[in-house]
Amino acid sequence: MPAELDPDLIGGWGRTALTAGYVRRGVRAEQVPEILSDSSLFPDRGVVARGLGRSYGDPAQNAGGLVLDMTALDKVISFDGQTGTVHTEAGVSLDTLARVLLPTGWFLPVTPGTRQVTVGGAIAADVHGKNHHRDGSFGRYVTRFGLATADGTVREVSPETEPALFWATTGGMGLTGVMLDATIRLIPVQTSSMLVDTVRAADLDQLLVALEQADHHRYSVAWLDCLARGRHMGRGVVTSGEHATHDQVPVAGPTSRSFAPRAFVGAPSWVPTGLLNRASIAAFNQAWYRKTPRSRNDELQGIGAFFHPLDGVRSWNRLYGPRGLLQYQCVVPDEGSLRAVLDRISTAQAPSFLTVLKRLGPGTPGPLSFPRPGWTLTLDFPVETPGLSGLLDGLDRIVAGSGGALYLAKDSRMAPDLLAATYPRLAEWSELRDRVDPHRRLRSDQSRRLSL
Amino acid sequence: MMNALGEPQSLGVLGGTSQIALAVTAKLCDGRTRTVVLAGRDPSALEAAQTSAREAGATHVRTLGLDALDTDSHQATVDAMFAEGDLDVALLAFGVLGDQLAAEADPDLAVNVAQVNYVAAVSLGLRVATAMRRQGHGTLVVLSSVAGERARRSNFVYGSSKAGLDAFAQGLGDSLRGTGVRVIIIRPGFVRTRMTTGLPDAPMSVNAADVAAAVEKALVGSKDIVWVPAGLRVVMSGLRHLPRPVFRRLKI
């Protein structure tokens, strides 16, 4: 290891399983091929790219190895207002893109729960958003990218020219190479406001019906109270929305597309263990449910409030205290499995602060891409929740048995055999990776943990 | 790699044939642990330990010879432990109790206790720490003892060796802050094992399985010093502060 570098202790957004890696900051695109092909640099520990560190688990850290901080690649290279495409460096955040693009009448085709992710990270995780049931995941809108691979070359990759490498990289968690730049197709919008419908559902049956009914909206999602028991199990709130048009906002014109969101507050830097516990989470869930009107239509909301409410609180992950949080996101194809999963959580009374349910549509051809048709459920648990390991192992079995899967961008605890059981095209992905990186130059703690 | 819930996938044990080591191995293999490296002195006991690790769920088990007294061999032993990949947890489990009265009569016996329990642990502990720093992560679990908290008349040779080990492990843990490597010190009271066969049961005594459960819990948690049973912490705090003339007269 180079003596001039001291390792940094780094982790994911869940702040669990921190390890020490050598972080190279201010990386420029032309240095990346050289770093990858120089096998004297961390020969047995490898390299991984890191963006804004919003993966919950361990994909953007590399114990004892090199971590390339990609956020210095922060330039929007060009924008074509005729075709609605943008060419950016891979370290540009979706937040930056939204700020730059919205005033011109264009928006991101897919926006995940936070804007604080990089373009490279969004492709590596093939992120999805509230429009997945209609529009699919991020990878579908990527027309090409430049990928530095382990042999020190930079490859021009598109679904037409190199489909296998393109789709192995989309959802490939950074293990096929280091992305340098990408071109993305955008969607036109008239304003930066959303027209939002809200429906409260008293139980799971009502919630599922309300979500299905919301399918015709471009965006839809449900929040639910995972601690509600018995006949209240699955009660929650469905919100759905569309981009508002000129005639739907009070003052039409260029200013109606302005977008300059700010974080209102930050979480304090130190929070005791156990602030978020079963009692406080139950109280929050109860209050959140009660404060929602039974039904409300055509409410105007800003894009930030609709898509990224948590971006309003900087470092909200710190609220879980020094031990951190574990996010569990699964997809199951059928309602029966979803019920089985929710039933177990409700019975165990495992407190999830934010529980989100969403319908997913067809996935992309990416062998490691997460979305597939069905229901996706996302839960946030404090790590110290008693019995959490056994509960989640039980959920894993339901998910695997149903033909579902866990999302690698959220995963921080699954066992390697579960990955093989739930990603049936894993062998195809591994074969491609063997070709493009035979000596495992690209490695992360997640790749070690999952034997990826 | 250790996952978010502190569940290791790989375990190396120095003193892999001790009953506490066997219990910890079985406990962790019941979770995510599949790779186990057992280093020990007695080949036939290692063979048995290997079988029991497999039965507990380990899929990759290796054994290595370990001679605690031969510090010159320690680097090779630690290198061999880490040779086939990262170890998420290393358990330092070897130790000897010795016979106090015999050791007082024959200082060579006392030296043996000190060399195994303290000198060898220093030598191996530092080498394991270096290997873990290189991999950027890992947890070293050190089996200390309540006997090290305050040396007793009836057991001070063993007690002082554990006191040294405990102090060493505390300092080592502090030195490793920020490196991704953690040291956990386990301070069991009287554990009913082969080592204590024939001795009268002490109050608050526990089984090897209780120590294993405490180790598993410590890996998930954030406490770096763990008493087994937990109540010993209070008891020992009281004993520690007794005036010496009083402590000396206690029949413990």
| Domains delineated in chain B | 10-249 (3.40.50.720)
Mean pLDDT of all residues in B184-210:
90
Compare all CA atoms of chain A with the CA of B88 and give the residue at the minimum distance: A449
**How far from each other are the two terminal CA atoms of chain B, in whole angstroms?**
43
Q: Report whether pLDDT(A281) > 60.
A: yes
* A135-194 residue pLDDT tens: 999 999 999 999 999 999 999 999 999 999 999 999 999 999 999 999 999 999 999 999
Q: Does A389 sit within 8 Å of B4, measured CB to CB?
A: no
Cα within 13 Å of Cα(B125), Cβ side: 31
Tell me what ipTM this predicted complex has.
Answer: 0.93
Average pLDDT of the segment spanning B8-28: 97
Distance from CA of B223 to the nearest CA of A (A): 11
Q: Which residues contact A144 (CB under 8 A, 6 or more apart)?
A: A156, A157, A158, A161, A182, A183
Residue pair A384/B6 in contact (Cβ under 8 Å)? The answer is no
Rounded to the nearest integer, the mean pLDDT of chain B is 95
Site from B137, B217, B220, B222 to mutate, A interface, most A CB atoms within 10 angstroms: B137
CB contact under 8 A, A20 and B179: yes
Which pTM does this prediction carry? 0.94
Q: Which chain B residues touch A445 with a CB distance below 8 Å? A: 1, 137
Residue A255 has pLDDT above 90, yes or no: no
Closest in B5, B135, B178 to A326, CB measured: B5
A326–B4 C-beta distance less than 8 A? yes
Percentage of the residues of chain B whose pLDDT score is greater than 90: 90
Q: Is A136 left (phi over 0), alpha (psi -120 to 50) or beta?
A: left
Residue of chain A minimizing CA distance to B133: A64
How crowded is residue A275: how many other Cβ atoms within 10 Å of its Cβ?
A: 12
The verdict on a CB contact (< 8 Å) between A63 and B135 is yes
pLDDT score of A392: 97
Residues of B in contact with A16 (CB under 8 A): 3-5
- For residues B85 and B83, what is the distance between their CA atoms, to the nearest angstrom? 6
In chain A, which residues touch B (CB < 8 A)?
A: 1, 7, 9, 14, 16-21, 45, 57-58, 62-65, 273, 322-324, 326, 383-384, 388-389, 412-415, 445-446, 448-449
Contact B180 A383 (CB under 8 A): no
- Cα separation, A447 vs A441, in Å, equals 11
Residue A17: closest C-alpha in chain B: B4
Average pLDDT, integer, range B172-198: 94
Token pair belonging to B236: 């020992």
Per-residue pLDDT tens digits for B35-52: 999 999 999 999 999 999
Q: Cβ neighbours of residue A288 under 8 Å, at least 6 residues apart? A: A223, A225, A237
Instruction: Report yes or no: A105 and A190 within 8 Å, Cβ to Cβ.
Output: yes
**A with B: how many residue pairs have Cβ under 8 Å apart?**
79
- Find, in chain B, the residue whose alpha carbon is nearest to that of A415: B32
Going by DSSP bridges, is the β-strand pair A295-302/A178-185 parallel, antiparallel, or unpaired?
Answer: unpaired
- Chain A contact set for B32 (CB, 8 A): 415
Q: pLDDT band at residue A254, thresholds of 50, 70 and 90?
A: low
Q: Which of B2, B5, B9 sits opposite A383 (nearest CB)?
A: B5
Mean pLDDT throughout B47-65? Answer: 97
Please report the pLDDT score of residue A222 as a whole number.
95
* Residues near A356 by beta carbon (within 8 Å), at least 6 away in sequence: A113, A221, A222, A223, A224, A377, A378
pLDDT tens per residue, range A180-224: 999 999 999 999 999 999 999 999 999 999 999 999 999 999 999
pLDDT of A319 > 90? The answer is no
Reply yes or no on whether the pLDDT at A269 is more than 60: yes
Give tens-digit pLDDT for B95-134: 999 999 999 999 999 999 999 999 999 999 999 999 999 9
From chain B residues 75-134, the ones with a CB under 8 A of any chain A CB are 86, 133-134
Comparing CB atoms, the residue among B9, B137, B222 nearest residue A20 is: B137
Measured distance CA(B191)–CA(B211) in Å, rounded? 8
Contact B4 A445 (CB under 8 A): no
Cβ contacts of B178 on chain A, cutoff 8 Å: 9, 20
B36 or A313, which is more confident?
B36
Residues of chain A positioned with their CB less than 8 A from the CB of B181: 20
For chain A, the average pLDDT equals: 93
pLDDT of residue B252: 73
Is the CB of residue B127 less than 8 Å from the CB of residue B92?
A: no
C-beta atoms of A445 and B3 within 8 A: no
CB contact under 8 A, B136 and A412: no
Please give the structure tokens belonging to residue A405.
């899967």
Residue A370 to chain B, least CA–CA distance (Å): 20
Which among B82, B158, B168, B190 is annotated as catalytic? B158
To the nearest whole angstrom, how far is the Cα of A318 from the nearest Cα of chain B?
Answer: 15
- pLDDT band at A322; cut points 50, 70, 90: confident
Q: Which residue of B has its CA nearest to A57?
A: B4
Confidence category of residue A3, pLDDT binned at 50, 70, 90: very low
Q: What is the pLDDT of residue A270?
A: 73
Q: Which of A13, A18, A19, A447 to mutate to test the interface with B (most CBs of B within 10 A)?
A: A19
**Cβ-based contacts of B87 with chain A (< 8 Å):** none
Contacts of A45 in chain B (CB under 8 A): 135-136
Subunit contact A7:B180, Cβ cutoff 8 A: yes
Q: H/E/C letters for each residue in chain B?
A: CCCCCCCCCEEEEECCCCHHHHHHHHHHHCCCCCEEEEEECCHHHHHHHHHHHHHHCCCEEEEEECCCCCHHHHHHHHHHHCCCCCCCEEEECCCCCCCHHHHHHCHHHHHHHHHHHHHHHHHHHHHHHHHHHHHCCEEEEEECCHHHCCCCHHHHHHHHHHHHHHHHHHHHHHHCCCCCEEEEEEEECCEECHHHCCCCCCCCCEEHHHHHHHHHHHHHCCCCEEEECCCHHHHHHHHHCCCHHHHHHCCC
pLDDT tens profile A343-375: 999 999 999 988 999 999 999 999 999 999 999
How far apart, in whole angstroms, are the C-alpha atoms of residue A238 and residue A223?
6
Residue B144 clears pLDDT 60, i.e. is over it: yes
Residue B134: which of A64, A389, A415 has the nearest Cβ? A64
Any chain A CB within 8 A of the CB of B31?
A: yes
> What distance in Å separates the CA atoms of residue A429 and residue A172, rounded to the nearest whole number?
8
Q: Is B118 a catalytic residue?
A: no
Q: Decide if B149 contacts B236 (C-beta within 8 A).
A: yes
Neighbours of B45 (CB within 10 A): 16
| Closest residue in chain A to residue B218, using alpha carbons only | A384
Does the pLDDT value for residue B250 go beyond 90?
Answer: no
DSSP for A69-133? EGGG---EEEEETTTTEEEEETT-BHHHHHHHHGGGTEE-S---S-S-SBHHHHHHTT---TTHH
**Residue A241 pLDDT grade (very low, low, confident, very high; cuts 50, 70, 90):** very high
Instruction: From chain A, pick out residues whose CB is under 8 angstroms from the CB of B1.
Output: 17, 19, 58, 63, 445-446, 448-449
Residue A441's pLDDT is: 98
Q: Contact B1/A324, CB-based, under 8 Å?
A: no
pLDDT exceeds cutoff 80 at A271: no
Section B25-43 average pLDDT: 97
* Residue of A55, A62, A383 to mutate when probing chain B, most B C-beta within 10 A: A383
Structure tokens at A154: 């930079």
Q: Which residues pair with A379 in a beta bridge?
A: A328
DSSP A225-292: -TT--GGGTT-EEEEEEEEPPGGGSSS-SGGGG-------EE--S---TTSS-HHHHHHHHHHHHHHS
pLDDT for the residue numbered A89: 98
Nearest CB to A16; choose among B4, B31, B133:
B4
A324: closest chain B residue by CA: B4
Chain A CB within 8 Å of residue B154 CB: no
Residue A2 confidence (pLDDT) above 60: no
